[in-house]
Homo-oligomer: A and B are copies of this chain.
Amino acid sequence: MQRYLLEIEYIGTSYAGSQKQPKEQPNTTKKIVTVQDEVEKAISTLTKTKTKTIFSGRTDAGVHAKGQIAHFDTELELNPSKFVNSMNGLLPKDISIKELKKVEKTFHAQKSAKARYYRYTIANRAQRSAWDENCLLVRYPLDIERMNKSLSYLLGEHDFTSFKKVRTSNPAKICNMYKAEAIRNGDFVYIDFIADRFLYNMIRSIVGTLLLIERNSLAPETLKDILDSRDKTKAGSTISPEGLALVRVIYNNNDINGESL
């Protein structure tokens, strides 16, 4: 048995998240297709064996990825470049494989991960553009300095209950935030987050709160007060997933604060 790592890119708009969560959406009759469904279908076709994958973690419905990581086991010896090529031939246009490589059997896409790096992309200008894709339009000017002051209160280990979806079965609430930073690039603003883990809806809730602070020119300390309250009703609304992408999964502690990001 060999273990292989897959690096996966996707535009999440048409998918019900990266992974099946059968208990989360019981009342829908709509067919729910996940990125994992599509990836497993392609691997199973190529290996001629029903194959399961383990993803580094779930991305919410509509969230994108530039570097999602998964692993799977197979009896076969795979040729990486041929296999990636065949996968990309089978997968829909909005999912692609960047890399396949053999890994040690001790590697686990989820359990071996030390941190995740997410980016929320905002088009910050008065008008929409025909070229806008996978970003959120914010028409009022964003003050990067004030945003970074707000975000600085999230750094370190905190109870993030205030930014966690209320109805979820996962009891986790403590996260260690290594990076939370806004960057302006022309008329785009990126908000980057690196943490050991992220709770369900957490980044979308933080960004929604940050935009509420910006729109009303509230004090940056507002974000700290909301974090400390551990009360989800204090947070701003959970913002659209269209601007959110999982950029990278970090497996080496040295990469967490690395310039290489």
Taking Cβ atoms with an 8 Å cutoff, the residues of A that contact B are 9-11, 66, 81, 84-85, 88, 93-98, 126-131, 133
B81 x A130 contact (CB < 8 A): no
Indicate which residue in B93, B97, B127, B131 contacts A127 across the interface (CB closer than 8 Å): B97
A96 x B130 contact (CB < 8 A): yes
A11 x B94 contact (CB < 8 A): no
A85 x B130 contact (CB < 8 A): no
A126 and B96 in contact (CB under 8 A), knowing A131-B66, A133-B133? no
In the complex, chain B residues whose CB is within 8 Å of the CB of A85 = 126-127
Given the complex of chains A and B, what is the CA–CA distance between A33 and B85 in angstroms?
Answer: 37
Given the complex of chains A and B, what is the CA–CA distance between A188 and B13 in angstroms?
Answer: 24
A88 x B127 contact (CB < 8 A): yes
Copies in the complex: 2
Given the complex of chains A and B, what is the CA–CA distance between A131 and B9 in angstroms?
Answer: 7
B129 x A96 contact (CB < 8 A): yes
> Which of A88, A128, A129, A130 has its CB near the most chain B CB atoms (within 10 A)?
A130
In the complex, chain B residues whose CB is within 8 Å of the CB of A129 = 9, 96, 98
In the complex, chain B residues whose CB is within 8 Å of the CB of A127 = 84-85, 88, 96-98
A128 x B11 contact (CB < 8 A): no
Given the complex of chains A and B, what is the CA–CA distance between A81 and B126 in angstroms?
Answer: 9
Given the complex of chains A and B, what is the CA–CA distance between A106 and B6 in angstroms?
Answer: 60
Indicate which residue in B66, B97, B131 contacts A11 across the interface (CB closer than 8 Å): B131
> Which of A10, A93, A129, A133 has its CB near the most chain B CB atoms (within 10 A)?
A129
Given the complex of chains A and B, what is the CA–CA distance between A129 and B10 in angstroms?
Answer: 8
In the complex, chain B residues whose CB is within 8 Å of the CB of A128 = 88, 96
In the complex, chain B residues whose CB is within 8 Å of the CB of A133 = 133
